[in-house]
Amino acid sequence: MNDASPGTVNSPESSTPAPKKSGNRIGLLLIGLLVVAAAVVWLEPTRVGWGLVTGEAFYEGRPTSYWRNALAGPADARAEAEAALQNGGNEAVPVLTELAAGKAGDDWKGSEVRILALDMLGAIGPDASEAIPVVTAALEDEDGHLRSVAAVNLPKIGAEAEQAVPALTKLAAMDPRPEVIRAISVYREEAASSLPVLVKILEDHAHDTETRWNAARTLGKLGPRGVQAVEVLVRCLKDEESTVREHSAEALGDIGPPAVTTVPDLVSVLDDPATRVRRDAVRSLGQVGPEAKAAVPQIVPLLDDPEQMVRDATATTLEILAPDVLEEHRRKKAEEENAEDEQAADAGGEG
């Protein structure tokens, strides 16, 4: 018999569980702990934890991010970090490579750190060759100064011509700077593929003088393989800028015997008002070789040039082309000096 009163409905216990508020609190607590842990790792001065988590390179027990912060920090910290990395040699290369690879963007300090790293890699030399891909990539960076620094240091760390010359030539065509052009010159004959770009730079008077004379100089460093540039170099012997004339004359000598057709052109600037033009022109006549012997009568007067550097270069050239003429000149010079000494002595005695 049911004892429940009529109209009364039994209320069975609900089968729906109550919300597990304790579980949510635990989850939030774990998230909070993770955030705190991440903050500790991120803010920890040595950055060791962060470096381990992100797989950075280490030097002296400190990761790349530590060195980046130090180099971008106050002067004292920066100087200390620079000294440590410079003294690190090979051991510092992995960190320096990562520093050089950092993105500069609009962060001038980031660019500054990368430039420091590139220079330190260059100072290490070929032992830093593992950084070649990073330094090569820096040739296309948005920061023009950084590109130039990368160009200077690419040959220093041992980049081979087949890899470096095309990249450097591309940069020179896009952004011709003296530093880039000098980097090409390091590869000498192996940089022959750069000749068309160098000629274009030399002929373009819109470029500054230093850029143009470096192009002339580098054409000479191509040696005999620079012979195709002879025509433009001859024209530049009459350039309005003395440094362009000077290095064009120098380049013709560096090209050597293949530039024999330029002997009359070199002779034509032996009286150039610029001392260094006269010096390089007479020196180049000697480098052209025996085929320049016909120019000896025009060369000899430079033995009495007012500038010592011209007289020295002239003597060197005559030793190659006409040593007998040089000896005869020296003999006559000695006789004249002796005669002058005797006249001075006589005049002194009469007094």
pLDDT in tens, 324-333: 999 999 998 8
CA distance linking residue 288 with residue 218, whole number of Å: 17
Res. 337 pLDDT band, cuts 50 70 90: confident
pLDDT for residue 33: 46
Res. 345 pLDDT band, cuts 50 70 90: low
| In the predicted structure, residue 300 carries a pLDDT above the cut 50 | yes
Q: In this structure, what is the dihedral angle of CA atoms 109, 112, 113, 116, given to the nearest 10 degrees?
A: -160
Position 92 in a domain: yes
Full residue range of the structural domain in which residue 70 is found = 43-103+112-127
3-state secondary structure of 87: coil
Position 79 in a domain: yes
| In the predicted structure, residue 109 carries a pLDDT above the cut 90 | no
Instruction: Give the ranges where 295-322 is alpha helix by DSSP (H).
Output: 296-299, 308-321
| In the predicted structure, residue 263 carries a pLDDT above the cut 60 | yes
pLDDT for residue 110: 82
CA distance linking residue 296 with residue 135, whole number of Å: 49
pLDDT for residue 97: 97
Contact 114, 100 (CB under 8 A): yes
| In the predicted structure, residue 273 carries a pLDDT above the cut 90 | yes
What integer best gives the mean pLDDT of the chain?
A: 88
pLDDT for residue 105: 41
Lowest mean pLDDT among 102-106, 156-160, 266-270, 300-304: 102-106
| In the predicted structure, residue 182 carries a pLDDT above the cut 80 | yes
Position 289 in a domain: no
Residues written for the chain: 351
Position 87 in a domain: yes
CA distance linking residue 156 with residue 172, whole number of Å: 18
Q: How far is CA 80 from the centre of its chain?
A: 25
CA distance linking residue 114 with residue 150, whole number of Å: 10
Block residue for tokens 């990539």: 137
Average pLDDT over residues 245-256: 98
Res. 133 pLDDT band, cuts 50 70 90: very high
pLDDT for residue 346: 64
Rounded CA Rg of the chain? 36
Highest mean pLDDT among 33-37, 40-44, 61-65, 240-244: 240-244
| In the predicted structure, residue 154 carries a pLDDT above the cut 80 | yes
What is the total count of domains within the chain? 1
Position 337 in a domain: no
| In the predicted structure, residue 6 carries a pLDDT above the cut 60 | no
Q: Comparing C-alpha atoms, which of 124, 61, 137, 126 is closest to residue 96?
A: 124
- The structure tokens listed for 212 are 């143009």
CA 188 vs CA 94, 251, 255, 262: distances in Å: 30, 12, 11, 21
CA distance linking residue 76 with residue 70, whole number of Å: 9
pLDDT-above-90 percentage for the chain: 75
Res. 104 pLDDT band, cuts 50 70 90: very low
pLDDT for residue 41: 45
pLDDT tens digits, residue range 22-50? 666 666 555 654 444 444 444 466 767 76
Position 314 in a domain: no
Contact 103, 137 (CB under 8 A): no
pLDDT for residue 1: 45
Q: Comparing C-alpha atoms, which of 231, 232, 291 is closest to residue 256?
A: 291
Q: How far is CA 310 from the centre of its chain?
A: 31
Res. 311 pLDDT band, cuts 50 70 90: very high
| In the predicted structure, residue 88 carries a pLDDT above the cut 90 | yes
3-state secondary structure labels for all residues of 259-275: HHHHHHHHHCCCCCCCH
Contact 198, 228 (CB under 8 A): no
